[in-house]
Each structure stands twice: as structure tokens, then as C-alpha cells.
Chain A
Amino acid sequence: MAVSLDELMPRLQHQAKLGVARTALVALGVGFEFLSRHSEEMQREIADWEEGRTLAIGVLPRGPRVTIRKGGRQLEMLGGDAYHADGAELKVMFKNVDAALLVLTGRIGAHTAFAEHRALVHGEIAKAMQANRAMAIVVKYLFPGVMLRSITRRMPVFSASELLLKARLYAVIGPFLARGLFK
């Protein structure tokens, strides 16, 4: 059966949005992993997370997701499949891809997303708040200053070494993003 352009366009747009969300989630995962190795602020934040704690962030109903696990003193990205995400003890799932993109492309902050009921939380709210703080650290390094000004409640201040770390994260994230896109 022939598909009309009117039917095709929304589907293509939706696929494109999912693609952007997938890429952004990979960037987020890489950010968690990288900063847990190199940022003292992140290391302090996750110090009390118990070994094996898993956190999944994704898009409903069957969109992309990323799963992060605490192993040793660091965080590792387990990949973007539903298998890992479904088993995570803490899941933050955006209600739809448009809601996810608002956060993942830096148009609203994670706290605003929670306040606006953009995402569901499966699991302990206290752990979701801890994850939210860790995510705020990733966001601080991932997004440029102009974006941070509008999405954070308090503009982060960067030390010289943190600025250097931001540059290093940008350098490592490129290849990961490419891999994430073509996985």
C-alpha cells in the first residue's frame, strides 16, 4: 500500500528525533563514565552509591535508553539496550521523545523536567535525587555556558582544571558519539 507524504513526514521526523535522543543519551553516558574517573566533584557525589547500583535514563514507549552502573569507585555505561535498562533499579523514563529532547538538548533543566511531570521515576525518589545531582555535574561539563545559564538554578563556576576537563570531555566524546550513532 502506498504511503502518502503526509503520513511519511511525521514518521521520519519522529525517527530523526529518536536519533538525536539516542546520540544525546550516549553523550550523557560517556559523560557519567568520564567524569567518574576524572572529576573529584563527581567522585564525591557517587562515593556513597552502593556497588552495582544501576540507573537507566530513556524514552517511552520504546525509545533509546542508556544504563549506567556503579562498579568499583566509578561509573560505567552498560549500553543502550532495553535488556540492561529494564533491569535497572532506578529508571527515569521520559514520557515521549519531545519531552526527552527538551532536556537532552539543553532547553530545560532536569529539575524543571521533574516539576513539569515530563518523566516517570521507577524506584526510590532519594536515589533519583542523587542521580539528578550527578546528572547536573555531567550537564555542567556537557553544555556550553550560555545554555547552562538558562537551565541551571545556580550558574556553575569552573576552576581552571575543571575547564581543562571540559575540553578533554569534548575531545573524547566525539568518537563515542560516532560509535553510538552507528551501533
Chain B
Amino acid sequence: MTIPDYFEFACPVKIVSGHTALPNIPHEMGLLGARRALVVTDRGVEEAGLVKLVTGVFAGDDRSLGGVFSDVPPDSSDEVAARVVRAYREGGCDCLLAVGGGSVIDTAKAANMLLGTGAKGLLELQGAERLQGRMPPFIVVPTTAGTGSEVTMAAVIANTAKRTKMAFIAYNLFPDVAILDPKMTLSMPPMITAATGMDALTHACEAYYCLQKNPLSDAFAVAAIDLLMEHLVPVVRDGSQAASRLAMANAALMAGIAFSSSLVGVIHALAHAVGAVAHVPHGVANAILLPWGMEYNIPKRASEIAALAPHLRVKSLTGEPSRDAAAAVQAVRNLTSSLNQLCGLPRTLKQAGVTRAQLEEIAATAIDDGAIAMNPEEVDFDDALTLLIRAY
């Protein structure tokens, strides 16, 4: 293994994982010097009864909740983040407690940036590593096992007025604590379980071969893939097993740690664009694009993709990098095919509701995505369009 000439790695998030992790929230708040939290969540999470589980752990504690904000929509925006800030101030809060999937966590990150910087709007904070100072205490309880946003330094939020997506990358965007409790993901329906799990697998695979891969991100990526290959199909088949849910939560978290350092490439660039243009859920788009994006990078990264083959449970390896890399891609195709049979996870962009006429707009959007710069192989408009046509 060659160590890159230069890399950066950070994961300053305290991780509390286990079947009884949830009751630790007030204690963790105390360690952060916080006394009153605003819960940020969405309707789906609330309706699944998960907010009640969180509010319940404050019974008899000095620490309390200053409110519950449950209005986070799927394509959350700066306006929603501003409303979270208002609720935080009105509730006299000193800590954010995000309870949800990537949409909720990213919204809470955006609100935290506004609170920590005092900025008037998110537009003035867009960019990479430009944030300064410490943000208020921030605890995350993920309810999907996919985005890994609980341990990443990135957030994406829509700008309502300009109708664009704003991206934020900064070391001070990391939450302080991630609470992984399987009770929080037990209620996830099979389709969301499969899609978010494939998001995690995409993070781990892209992290393993993209430009800023390094020994630390590699270790997390490979561990995540092993766990995902063991638990994803069983948990989609039967989501009631808490042990598998906990394993999936850890896998998604490790994949998040991996990609927060080594970043993701063309698959995510395309998936973000498919989401923006055709509103396909992030995990679904990744599941469709993962084999195509891996295959596209084989000419540049055959050895790295081949090294993933045993972790993707390829049985017979040839020792020849491009053949083993192709086998790794086939293993991913087999996996998405199983998930398709189990829960109907789409395998093509067409099945996901994308129209042929949207592909050009998606390609144009994708080449403006930050992830495109991290892909080992060059990707121009024509390359992006070719990939989309293949995945169509």
C-alpha cells in the first residue's frame, strides 16, 4: 500500500452505539455544557413514533427539550433552516438534537451554521472550509442507516429564492455526538432500508478508490463493506432484528467516516443531479449508478476496485486486476438485483421515473457537482451523458 503524498483525516465525533444508547442523550448534553435541546425531525420520523422515544429519555432529568421542530421536508431549504433557528431561539435552547435521516441532519447542520456564525443567510457561508469558529452543541440520532451525515463535514441544502443547491464543506460542521440506537431504525420500511443501505455502500466503494483515498479512510471503507454485505439483504428481508439494525447503523457510520475524508466521485455527482432534476431519492439513484460508476473507473483504478472484490463476496479471484474489478462490479449488480426482487428497489433510471429527455440536464448539472473533481477518471459532459444512458 502506498501512502498518499498528502492527506487530511478527521472524525471528531463521539460515537455512542448500542441497544441502550438513547438514554445517554441528556448526559452527553451535559458533557457539552448544554441544558436545553431543540429536536429537529420530520413528519415520517415523528409518525413512526421515534420522537416519543427521544422525548421519553428526558423524564426526571435536569436537562430538557425546548421544542420539537418536525417540519423538515425531503428537499430541505435555507428557509426551513431559518425556521429551525427561530424555534431554537424561541425555545431558549442551547443545543440541537437532530433525529432523522440525511434530510433532517443536513437541515440541522445548516441551522447550526447560522447559529454559530451569526450569518444572515446561508448563501454567504457556501463553499469549502471557509467556516470559522465553534458551532453550538450538536447531537445527532440517525434514523436511517445510509448517509453517514452524523459523521461527515458536509451538508447540502436548497436555496429557495435562487432555486439552487448550496453545498457546505467544513471541519466545524461535524456534529459533536452521534447516538446509534437500533430502536431508531427498526421502523424503516424495506425500500428505504435498501436505498439508504446502498447509499452507504456507495460511500464506502467510492471512498476506497477516489482521489483522496488514504489508509484511514480505506480501513473504515472496507469494514463498512464487510458489514453491509453481511446485513443489508437480511435486514431488508426482515427489518425486525435489532442486532442487524445496529450493524447497519455502524456500517453507514463507518462509510460516512471513510467518505468524509476521501470524498466521493462520479456516482455521487450523478446521483445528486438525478435527485435535483428528477427527484429520485438519493439512495435509489446511488444504487442504480454504483455499478456503472465503478466500471467507468476500472481503467484508472483496477487494482483498488479489484481489492474490493473479496469484500463484495466475490468467491473466485483471478489475481488479474481488471478481471477481478469486473467481478466486483458484477457482485454489486447481483446485490441490487436481489434487493430489486425483495423490495422493488429500481435498477434503472427509467424504473426510478427519470425521463429520457431529462438526461442532458442531469449530465449538465452533474459536471458542476463538487464530487466530479474527486473522481479518478476525467468526466466531461459527454462522459456523464454516456453513463446516464447506460444506467437508463
Contact = CB atoms under 8 A, between A and B. Distances in A.
Q: Do A and B bind?
A: yes
Interface of A: 110-112, 114-117, 119-130, 132-133, 152-154
A100 to B, nearest CB: 14
Given A116-B212, A120-B130, A153 B378 contact: yes
A116 B217 CA distance: 13
Q: Name the prevailing secondary structure of the A interface residues.
A: helix
B368 interface: yes
A124 B159 CA distance: 11
Contacts of B7: 116
B370 A112 contact: no
Given A116-B8, A120-B129, A153-B378, A125 B212 contact: no
Given A126-B164, A126-B368, A129-B367, A121 B374 contact: no
Given A111-B374, A154-B377, 12 more contacts: A110-B373, A114-B370, A115-B210, A116-B7, A116-B212, A120-B128, A122-B127, A125-B127, A125-B369, A126-B165, A126-B369, A129-B370
Contacts of B169: 125
Contacts of A123: 126-127
5 contacts: A115-B263, A117-B128, A125-B369, A126-B164, A153-B378
Interface string B5-19: 011100000000000
Give me the 5 closest cross-chain CB pairs, A-B, nearest first.
Answer: A154-B378, A153-B378, A126-B368, A115-B211, A121-B128
B372 interface: yes
B280 to A, nearest CB: 19
B314 interface: no
B266 to A, nearest CB: 11
Interface string B222-263: 000000000000000000000000000000000000000001
Contacts, number: 74
B166 interface: yes
A154 B297 CA distance: 12
A155 B297 CA distance: 16
Contacts of A133: 367
A121 B263 contact: no
A116 B128 contact: no
B137 interface: no
B21 interface: no
Contacts of B210: 115
B320 to A, nearest CB: 24
A165 to B, nearest CB: 20
Contacts of A116: 6-8, 212
Contacts of B263: 115
Nearest to A90: B127
Interface in B132-164: 164
Nearest to B4: A116
* Interface class of chain B by DSSP: loop
Contacts of B212: 115-116
B167 interface: yes
B376 interface: yes
A128 to B, nearest CB: 7
A112 B5 CA distance: 11
A114 B128 CA distance: 9
Nearest to B165: A126
Interface string B287-315: 00000000000001000000000000000
A124 B156 CA distance: 12
Given A112-B211, A115-B211, A116-B6, A129 B373 contact: yes
Given A117-B8, A123-B126, A132 B164 contact: no
A124 B128 CA distance: 9
Contact of A153 (B127, B167, B369, B376): B376
B302 to A, nearest CB: 15
Nearest to A113: B373
A120 B127 contact: yes
A130 B8 CA distance: 25
A125 B8 contact: no
Contact of B368 (A111, A114, A129, A154): A129
A41 B165 CA distance: 27
A129 B378 CA distance: 13
Contacts of A117: 8, 128-129
A153 B370 contact: no
Nearest to A156: B378
A121 B125 CA distance: 10
A115 B374 contact: yes
B374 A125 contact: no
B211 A111 contact: yes
A43 to B, nearest CB: 16
A115 B373 contact: yes
Contacts of B377: 153-154
Contacts of A132: 373
Given A111-B374, A114-B373, A154-B378, A125 B126 contact: yes
Contacts of B376: 153
Contacts of B370: 114, 125, 128-129
A122 B119 CA distance: 14
B368 A130 contact: yes
Given A115-B212, A129-B367, A130-B368, A124 B373 contact: no
A108 B310 CA distance: 33
A53 to B, nearest CB: 14
